[in-house]
Amino acid sequence: MSEDDPKTLVSTDWLAQHLNDPDLRILDASWYLPDMGRDARAEYDAAHIPGARFFDIDDISDQRSDLPHMAPPPEKFVSRLRAMGVGDGHQVVVYDGAGLFSAARVWWLFRLMGKTDVAVLDGGFAKWQAEDRPVEDLPPMVRDRHMTVQRQANLVKDVTQVAASTKLGDATIIDARGAPRFRGEEDEPRPGLRAGHIPTSVNVPYKSVLNDDGTMKSPDALTKVFEDAGVDLSKPAITTCGSGVTAAILSLALERTGHRRHALYDGSWAEWGMFNDLNVETGE
């Protein structure tokens, strides 16, 4: 797989070359945990890649759920994206302000809706700015664009399906949280959640698939990261994390290795850690 793949990951060089393509749509999908002390919308308003629209992960979600930013119903996804001028026939590039943190979640959401012409910007806005590439503070000119979606149910798992996999062993459950949280040695950032991890799951902290500059490791290096962590890449995979955001980084990494049978547990630890009748493991 080449470095630039418009269905998974593109470089800042690629985006700079295609910036004026009429059918390119750029989305700023920045999102931060409260302890990061950053305001994604304010940062977008101050400076963004020319033409970028702001994709609010918390708003474009299933508001009927008590869980954070669960995947939205297809009709809500369509209406929000149409209003942003994003639709059929567009090549979408998603980035975030942390390098590669929340953008993969939106890549996965597009995939869930059956849209495959979507890539994450490798290294994100930080790399774009470090290279002194153009930015603007103007809202983009938006024209409504028709969008059709077809939800791909195989790309998402609910708590019942994940619980079944822990017993059947039919998929490897891969947890993207940091090792101290995985082992239950660190309190969860969301109050009321137990500490630990889903039984049978393995830990691949999302930072382990990234380089120091926030870009994603090469496909060969990614394969080694997964295999060293005990992931059997011949089996289906289920990615999970705290609330379904960084799990998508592992989903993107799996896709980059050529692994095609992966799904994301949307409720993640925000759901599993809440229910006392679900088993929890601690330690390695």
Query: Can you tell me whether residue 126 is helix, strand or coil?
Result: helix
Q: What residues act catalytically?
A: 241
User: What pLDDT tens digit does each residue of the chain (284 aa) get?
Assistant: 358 999 999 999 999 999 999 999 999 999 998 888 999 999 999 999 999 999 999 999 999 998 899 999 999 999 999 999 999 999 999 999 999 999 999 999 999 999 999 999 999 999 999 999 999 999 998 988 899 999 999 999 999 999 999 999 999 999 999 999 999 999 888 888 999 999 999 999 999 999 999 999 999 999 999 999 999 999 999 999 999 999 999 999 999 999 999 999 999 999 999 999 999 999 88
Residue 1 counted as domain residue:
no
Give a yes or no: residue 102 inside a domain: yes
Pick from 18, 44, 20: which is nearest to 30 by CA? 44
Whole-Å CA distances, 101 to 19, 260, 263: 22, 21, 18
Q: Collect all residues with Cβ–Cβ distance below 8 Å to 267 and sequence separation of at least 6.
A: 67, 70, 158, 159, 244
- Quote the number of domains for the chain: 2
Has residue 279 been placed in a domain? no
CATH at residue 179: 3.40.250.10
Task: Answer yes or no: do 188 and 137 share one domain.
Answer: no
Host domain of residue 114: 9-151
Q: Contact 196/239 with Cβ under 8 angstroms?
A: no
Does 78 share its domain with 193?
A: no
Yes or no: say if 244 and 162 are a contact pair by the CB < 8 Å rule: no
Closest CA to 250 of 73, 47, 108: 108
